[in-house]
Amino acid sequence: MGSEVYPVCLPWEEESTMYLIKWIFTTVRREIETALRPLGLTSSQSQTLYVLAMSPGVTNTDLEKLLLIDKSSVTSLVNGMIGKNWAVRRGHPEDARMKQIYLTEEGLKIHKAAERTIEQIKSSVGETLSIRESETLRGLLKKILHDYRPANTGV
């Protein structure tokens, strides 16, 4: 590991693949959160805006599965976004009990600004590895994820 500085961890975690994945995720997420803060966004809000832009009309249940968060968190997240006029709920055409969620014009604008910001961060992170290294890493991570998929909640 050389002279890299990592946060305090248990001795058996230092070389753990899972520890390194978590540390990279946490580091990049903090960088994204810092970059999104001037836009008035959290990373969860940004992810939700992205889902709504790519899949207009998703339901709370869809968001639970796509964002890997629980029902109450989705409700709070969506209510907050509706309060900021970034999203609206509309009745489902086939099931009156269900509500679909859509971006507003304001939501689409903030989504595009967030997307540009995140792409800048992702491209700087991507400069660390060659294209071949990135492909290899993604393949290995998918392999790990595949082994753990049965333990996930249907994702």
21 versus 2: the higher-pLDDT residue is 21
- pTM of the predicted protein model: 0.73
pLDDT at 147: 81
Can you read off the two tokens belonging to residue 11? 């001795």
Please give the Cα distance from 151 to 125 (Å, whole number): 29
Distance CA 114, CA 34 (A): 12
The per-residue pLDDT of the chain, averaged, comes to 85
Does residue 127 or residue 62 have the better pLDDT?
A: 62
- Three-state secondary structure along 23-69? HHHHHHHHHHHHHHHHHCCCHHHHHHHHHHHHCCCECHHHHHHHHCC
Of 17 and 13, more confident: 17
pLDDT, tens only, 97-106: 889 999 999 9
Task: Please give the structure tokens belonging to residue 140.
Answer: 């290995």
The answer to whether 21 touches 141, Cβ cutoff 8 Å, is yes
Q: Tell me the per-residue pLDDT of 127-140, one tens digit each, with 9 for 90 and over.
A: 788 889 989 988 99
Q: Convert the pLDDT of each residue in 84-127 to its tens digit.
A: 999 999 988 888 788 999 999 999 999 999 999 998 888 776 67
Antiparallel, parallel or unpaired: β 99-103 and 87-91? antiparallel
